[in-house]
Chains A and B, each alone.
Chain A
Amino acid sequence: AQSVAQPEDQVNVAEGNPLTVKCTYSVSGNPYLFWYVQYPNRGLQFLLKYITGDNLVKGSYGFEAEFNKSQTSFHLKKPSALVSDSALYFCAVRDRSGGYNKLIFGAGTRLAVHP
């Protein structure tokens, strides 16, 4: 079965510093990986995805993610954090075992960016 793991419940970063939110995956076949962000009392907003091609994927709001096949990781990064980046971040993997594209989510990582 496809799965993703987010090893950190919370990440604390000072504004202006680089941030990394970690995600590792376990899949059979090619991995299709996604990052979503959830602001308080809001839905999930799509940030970026890896399907194939370049290992460094660029997404919304200055975020990027690095796909590493040997380490089975897909960490989310941003060179300079903003206070407004504070939110809940979810890594997800596509699972086609049922014939359709359902997403399997990690437990989420809360990012807190301090002024």
Chain B
Amino acid sequence: DTEVTQTPKHLVMGMTNKKSLKCEQHMGHRAMYWYKQKAKKPPELMFVYSYEKLSINESVPSRFSPECPNSSLLNLHLHALQPEDSALYLCASSQAGNTIYFGEGSWLTVV
């Protein structure tokens, strides 16, 4: 069963709020990812964790803060976001070097 679970599915937050997106997988995958997808565009890579350590940060602004508490969980902490950060945020996981599986995404609206 290839399943990546993301919560919440929808989030509306103000520009001064602090919120978090959560992601969980139980496939034993050791790489986990955050992607951002704007309307009518392909996903853009934000962060990669490999064996619970941050291995790639694609020059993402510091108002996005990832955290990998253990090999099954990945969080994205959000603070002082801008309206242009409104997007679909996708979590994904893979066994190193293999197929990357995506979750259903969290729809974020910043007001």
Q: Is chain B found bound to chain A in the same assembly?
A: no
Q: Which residues of A contact B (CB under 8 A)?
A: none
Q: Which residues of B contact A (CB under 8 A)?
A: none
